[in-house]
Amino acid sequence: MRLLLALGNPGAKYRDTRHNIGWWLADRLAHRWGGGPFRVDGPTAWTTGTARPGVEIHKPLAYMNRSGESLARLLAERRFDARGFDPAADMLVLVDDVALPAGRFRLRARGSPGGHNGLASISASLGSDEYGRLRLGVGRPPDERIDLVAWVLSRMPRAEEEGALGAFPRAAEAVEYWLEHGVEAAMNRFNRLG
């Protein structure tokens, strides 16, 4: 079983914000793979796609900084642990990243949370930074006086949003390559282009 964990915040207030770009890509992947609507089951909303059996896409329903709590419950309540689930090989986190401009993405096999509260929560839950992540660019505030929290909880201007969405076909290919070949191979193939 493979797990795509898309980080974001629940609720209409946050749906279109930079922080939820992981959820946007999750929606795109579900559609691309012929998945049904996301259904709420315990700590997440999730779906699968007929084109990718054995892959589940999950959106934690806790707020971003508590994503790890949702993951811990998911792993305890579902079949991931029973089948030898290894987060380092079997999980990819879809997450926003202010260090990348909108329209760019990067795969990483491991690493510190880098100040991202969602990743910090995931790492705390797993007791490890050994899990893949697909970092989706949302850009930095144009002025250092702009509060970073306010920035990621705001909407992108139309041109930025179009740039971010324009990268999704290539990001989807990167996820599919990860599924087939693993994170290191996907990094080598896509990071220079993403």
CA distance 29 to 171: 10
With a cut of 50, list the residues of the chain below it in pLDDT.
none
Per-residue model confidence (pLDDT) at position 180:
96
Per-residue model confidence (pLDDT) at position 1:
87
Q: Which tokens hold the place of 126?
A: 């797993």
| Tens-place pLDDT, residues 74-126 | 988 876 655 678 999 999 999 999 999 999 999 999 998 888 999 999 999 99
Residue numbers of the domain that contains 178 = 2-190
Per-residue model confidence (pLDDT) at position 80:
64
Return the closest-CA partner of residue 124 out of 69, 58, 62, 55.
69
Per-residue model confidence (pLDDT) at position 127:
95
User: What's 165's domain CATH number?
Assistant: 3.40.50.1470
Alpha helix (H) ranges present in 82-134?
Answer: 87-90, 117-126
Single out the catalytic residue among 19, 58, 116, 181: 19
Does the annotation mark 181 as catalytic?
A: no
Q: Is 164 exposed, middle or buried (0-12, 13-18, 19+ CB in 10 A)?
A: buried
Say how many domains are in the chain. Answer: 1
